[in-house]
Chain A
């Protein structure tokens, strides 16, 4: 049994560590490319959201190199993601692929079913092995998150264009290859060193503009589908922070009910004046994080969403009010299989121009007062 799964940013490092730790043979799909996207959108429903299409491409490319089992997360709505697995299975079966799809549903109070599904995936294991595999995977996930946070700070002040991104790639490789907790720790340390080395001399005194990235988790985390927004902004000299990291997503999506690791209610409270109810996906987080970035005096916020994403459309409808009340520029970028690098780049440049101009104006006249 060769297990594969869909890509979402650098999540593969964690999933691979977990499954291999449990004794499964893992086939990591090739990193998403134009080919992945074109295969995926050819076989997916036209109006399905983008992640479903890229997932299909990932699965097919993984099966081409030998995978025969697909692991996927489920959901209980109202976002479409909860039905992805079932629909994707139908699509792939329709194309004649022979495979098994194992969908791990959120437990909703019953842990047994989840364990059964995990058991189908990796066979029987002693409890100790589960614990050690989970610990290693968790450590890697945390390391990846930390490296991603660091690279966002280094990019605007890197000495040579692309140095930070190259350092991140080598650091991620080290984390990926690390086979024990100690090695993960060492890889993280070395990775941080490499990133520090990528900085230009005198970087400490710089004060780059800050832009927050919010939106739907998949598009935010997957550089291939968001046309590498984070790197492009960083290389324009912008310090980027995003509202969601993989660790958050996993905590919330898979373990929320089991381990009672409920996320703080903070985004909900912050979003309250604009959006008073959970709307599925990350709609409320998008609004709440925008408010948070405005309070932290960020210079702008960019919302990323796949085309037709329901929760993000609700958020997008209320964001202009947030922008108006709190005086923070907000731009929405919507992605589908037709998004092009050049189009996105132009919009990013225009947005950064706008942000920098208002910074210059502020530095002359003092910060603007929030209207409301």
Chain B
């Protein structure tokens, strides 16, 4: 009797091991793998997608802990790839012959290739883009169009931002620096950070809270507890649909532009599925669906006709040509800066 049970047990494990379908484990941001597209992909290719949500810092930490194993595809921002790759070697070079270059907006593909180059290889392909700027409730805070509004005591208790590096960069621009130009000069960058820390600590009484969770921030904007926040464009446009007074504003200093990419971890198991997913997501109809539901701009060439008019409207309303030209795109971050920034952020958070 015992033997029979044991044999069945083994048989079950054995079969379970084999009947498992092919999977793609994807390390990405929330909203980057809409369920409808995951289902469609599975139907087309038979590959199941396992999605893990994360952010830039956690993605790097996770892949660093496993030395690039455990995921087949990751989606870091383009400016956070080259220095990390140089130091920890967590990605493998992208084989651009396996992705369909015609699907991409050529200038964006080239920019990402250039910015993620380490040695002779490049490590990423673009997926989507967006900007950090301000979400403003114009009924409560009319005429706001500068980062400086985050420091304005007219709005005491009605301001919210993250304690993350984009905030430091934005404050740098608000104080008249050009942080990106200082990337190569660590001493000058440090001096700028000290000034920013001083400013942020002085402005602490103005802040309602330092938001950590995007949904929670949107909720406090919706309930009109917060009037001005530093946040991503897509969030502001989502709120605009419900309350016309709330909208995303590209500050006059220039919105901060980011491009999120596809990069393949160095010990990815299912390379084939990873490239399939990249090509699938960039197909105009799928990219159009993604942009329509999640409101992030896409790197896909020709997706425009699949994007709903309201969403296209968002882009045109917020970004007239001058605002587009004024977007400050993140250049690749040199490694040692992040340590300095971490300390400054701790200091601000700990201050009274």
A associates with B = no
